[in-house]
């Protein structure tokens, strides 16, 4: 059997695949492990979205290919959403490209833009697929500084001239996974200006735009004048409408960048099942704001439970205004050891911060996407475990 390609050998194991295998091994031994490591919503989508899927699936004419650019009705629904939510105008034919979940588009954008010797500017704490896409493309990676001292906002001012000259892609993501940090339009304006000045494509990953708490409302980078000249934004129905397993989202913005992305996608996939597109239209057009608010209030309750328990678990965190996560600093032991022992001894799986980049060391990430009774049990296990190892 031939050996794997060089690009695959340059690709480290995906951290959640590794953790998932460990958890399957533990389950096979009869161990009940509660997962707080993965950001998958535990609640269902609105009933009318499921009904739209079922009705479309029963139509015998709806089971063929839907085309590389997806269903026009879905692209039009995304355009209506952006106009309603952000007052951003998008051309459904040239500025919106449906994706098989935003993760697919994130990796494929790197394949569409980057060559060997190019640099991808990746947050020093961020979603692993930004870096993995660059590695698959054979490009070099430069981690952009971000730390608690600057509110986990990217510091592009620290990038040397030689890096800016070779960089072709910059990733930003706010509300941020894993830190929960949010950004304002002034920050986005700085990123747009930086990329325009240095001829860099700006990729904004914005799947948590509707997972917000209190009075906070997340913006879109496309609200900035001139952003569509240099930027694409990834949106997803996974978190917004509890449709993670449906794998539907879109890239929106620069028509030129989306044309490049389509060139890759059209050689890899053939679009979604029509019923998924039609359910997506129902979600985008018909979900009331009250449903979003009620769902987010469930997350607020869970967030506050975790925040109250942190001191008894040797952790501390700033209160997040958005996302599904608590980004907690480990107080008195190595963070990776903390996560590993918590999984093995307390039987609660949390994500080690180092999985999100070099500046994630010292932190762990905990998800709000777990049922209330299981969350209560997980917190009790962690408090009991931490007390036992410190006594």
Q: Are 338 and 350 found together in one domain?
A: yes
Q: Are 231 and 364 found together in one domain?
A: no
20 pLDDT tier (thresholds 50, 70, 90): confident
Query: What does the pLDDT look like over 31-63, one tens digit per residue?
Result: 999 999 989 999 999 999 999 999 999 999 999
Query: What does the pLDDT look like over 138-152, one tens digit per residue?
Result: 999 999 999 898 899
The helix (run of H) or strand (run of E) holding residue 235 is strand 231-236
34-35 vs 348-349, strand pairing mode:
parallel
| Cα–Cα distance for residue pair 270/281, rounded to 1 Å | 19
The helix (run of H) or strand (run of E) holding residue 72 is helix 72-86
Cα 7 to the chain's mean position, in Å?
Answer: 24
Mean pLDDT of the chain: 96
Report the pLDDT value the prediction gives residue 390, as an integer from 0 to 100. 87
CATH of the domain at 371: 3.90.1150.10
Q: Write down the residue that tokens 């091994």 correspond to.
A: 25
Beta strands in 74-133 (DSSP E): 96-99, 119-123
- Does some domain include residue 132? yes
Using the predicted structure, report yes or no on whether residue 305 has a pLDDT greater than 90.
yes
Q: Are 146 and 223 found together in one domain?
A: yes
Tokens representing 63?
């089971």
Q: Are 39 and 134 found together in one domain?
A: no
6 pLDDT tier (thresholds 50, 70, 90): confident
For residue 36, is it left (φ>0), alpha (ψ between -120 and 50) or beta?
alpha
- Does some domain include residue 253? yes
Provide, rounded to the nearest whole percent, the portion of the chain with pLDDT above 90. Answer: 91
CA distances from 137 to 112, 163, 233 (A): 8, 18, 20
Sheet of 201-205, strand order: 96-99, 249-253, 231-236, 201-205, 167-172, 119-123, 140-144
Q: Are 267 and 332 found together in one domain?
A: no
- Does some domain include residue 150? yes
- Does some domain include residue 168? yes
- Does some domain include residue 202? yes
- What is the DSSP secondary-structure string of 261-301? HHHHHTTT-----HHHHHHHHHHHHH--HHHHHHHHHHHHH
Using the predicted structure, report yes or no on whether residue 17 has a pLDDT greater than 90.
no
CATH of the domain at 138: 3.40.640.10
Using the predicted structure, report yes or no on whether residue 158 has a pLDDT greater than 90.
no
User: ∠215-217-223 over CA atoms, to 5°?
Assistant: 150
Q: Are 193 and 297 found together in one domain?
A: no
Q: Are 122 and 262 found together in one domain?
A: yes
Query: Which among 286, 303, 338 is the end of a domain?
Result: 286
Query: Which among 263, 286, 309 is the end of a domain?
Result: 286
- Give the list of residues 6+ apart from residue 35 with CB closer than 8 angstroms, or none: 23, 349, 367, 370
Domain that residue 216 falls in: 47-286
272 pLDDT tier (thresholds 50, 70, 90): very high
As for how many domains the chain has, the answer is: 2
Report the pLDDT value the prediction gives residue 65, as an integer from 0 to 100. 92
Q: Are 316 and 273 found together in one domain?
A: no
Report the pLDDT value the prediction gives residue 221, as an integer from 0 to 100. 98
- Does some domain include residue 1? no
| Cα–Cα distance for residue pair 298/4, rounded to 1 Å | 45
| Cα–Cα distance for residue pair 249/280, rounded to 1 Å | 9
Torsion sign over Cα 20, 22, 25, 26: negative
Choose among 84, 90, 134: nearest CA to 288: 84
| Cα–Cα distance for residue pair 203/253, rounded to 1 Å | 10
Query: What does the pLDDT look like over 112-133, one tens digit per residue?
Result: 999 999 999 999 999 999 999 9
Query: What does the pLDDT look like over 329-346, one tens digit per residue?
Result: 999 999 999 999 999 999
Using the predicted structure, report yes or no on whether residue 16 has a pLDDT greater than 90.
no
| Cα–Cα distance for residue pair 317/303, rounded to 1 Å | 11
Tokens representing 302?
């869970």
Q: Are 233 and 319 found together in one domain?
A: no
246 pLDDT tier (thresholds 50, 70, 90): very high
| Cα–Cα distance for residue pair 101/123, rounded to 1 Å | 21
Using the predicted structure, report yes or no on whether residue 10 has a pLDDT greater than 90.
no
Query: Which among 250, 269, 286 is the end of a domain?
Result: 286
Report the pLDDT value the prediction gives residue 212, as an integer from 0 to 100. 98
Report the pLDDT value the prediction gives residue 333, as an integer from 0 to 100. 94
Q: Give the pLDDT mean for 177-195.
A: 97
Q: Are 191 and 324 found together in one domain?
A: no
317 pLDDT tier (thresholds 50, 70, 90): very high
- Give the list of residues 6+ apart from residue 76 with CB closer than 8 angstroms, or none: 92
- Does some domain include residue 217? yes
Q: Are 131 and 233 found together in one domain?
A: yes
Q: Are 158 and 204 found together in one domain?
A: yes
Using the predicted structure, report yes or no on whether residue 19 has a pLDDT greater than 90.
no
Q: Give the pLDDT mean for 278-304.
A: 98
- Does some domain include residue 138? yes
For residue 152, is it left (φ>0), alpha (ψ between -120 and 50) or beta?
left
- Give the list of residues 6+ apart from residue 208 with CB closer than 8 angstroms, or none: 175, 177, 218, 239, 322, 323, 324
Report the pLDDT value the prediction gives residue 154, as an integer from 0 to 100. 97
The strand pairing partners of 140, in sequence order, are: 119
């Amino acid at each position: 059997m031939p050996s794997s390609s060089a690009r695959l050998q340059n690709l480290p194991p995906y951290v959640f695949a590794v953790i998932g295998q460990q958890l399957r091994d533990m389950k096979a031994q009869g161990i009940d492990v509660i997962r707080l490591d993965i950001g998958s919503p535990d609640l269902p989508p609105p009933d009318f979205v499921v009904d739209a899927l079922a009705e479309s699936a029963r139509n015998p004419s709806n089971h063929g290919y839907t085309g590389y650019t997806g269903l026009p009705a879905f692209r039009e629904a995304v355009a209506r959403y952006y106009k309603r939510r952000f007052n951003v105008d998008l051309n459904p034919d040239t500025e919106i490209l449906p994706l098989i979940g935003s993760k697919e588009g994130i990796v494929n954008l790197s394949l569409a833009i980057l060559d060997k010797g190019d640099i991808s500017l990746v947050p020093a704490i961020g979603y692993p697929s930004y870096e993995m896409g660059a590695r698959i493309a054979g490009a070099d990676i430069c981690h952009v500084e971000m730390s608690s001292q600057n509110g986990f906002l990217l510091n592009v001012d620290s990038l040397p001239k030689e890096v800016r000259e070779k960089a072709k892609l910059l990733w930003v993501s706010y509300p941020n996974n894993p830190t929960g940090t949010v950004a304002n339009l002034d920050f986005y304006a700085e990123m747009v200006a930086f990329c325009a000045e240095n001829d860099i494509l700006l990729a904004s990953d914005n799947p948590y735009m509707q997972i917000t708490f209190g009075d906070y409302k997340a913006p879109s980078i496309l609200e900035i004048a001139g952003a569509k000249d240099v930027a694409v934004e990834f949106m997803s129905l996974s978190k917004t409408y509890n449709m993670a397993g449906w794998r539907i989202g879109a890239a929106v913005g620069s028509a030129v960048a989306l044309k490049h992305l389509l060139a890759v996608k059209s050689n890899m996939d053939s679009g979604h099942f029509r019923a998924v597109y039609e359910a997506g239209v129902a979600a985008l057009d018909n979900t009331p704001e009250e449903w979003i608010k009620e769902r987010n209030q469930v997350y607020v309750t869970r967030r506050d439970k975790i925040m109250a328990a942190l001191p008894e678990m040797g952790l501390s965190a700033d209160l997040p205004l958005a996302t599904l996560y608590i980004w907690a600093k480990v107080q008195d032991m190595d963070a990776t050891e903390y996560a590993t022992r918590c999984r093995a001894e307390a039987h609660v799986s949390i994500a080690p911060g180092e999985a999100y980049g070099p500046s994630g060391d010292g932190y762990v990430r905990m998800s709000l996407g777990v049922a209330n009774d299981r969350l209560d049990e997980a917190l009790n296990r962690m408090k009991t475990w931490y007390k036992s190892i410190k006594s």
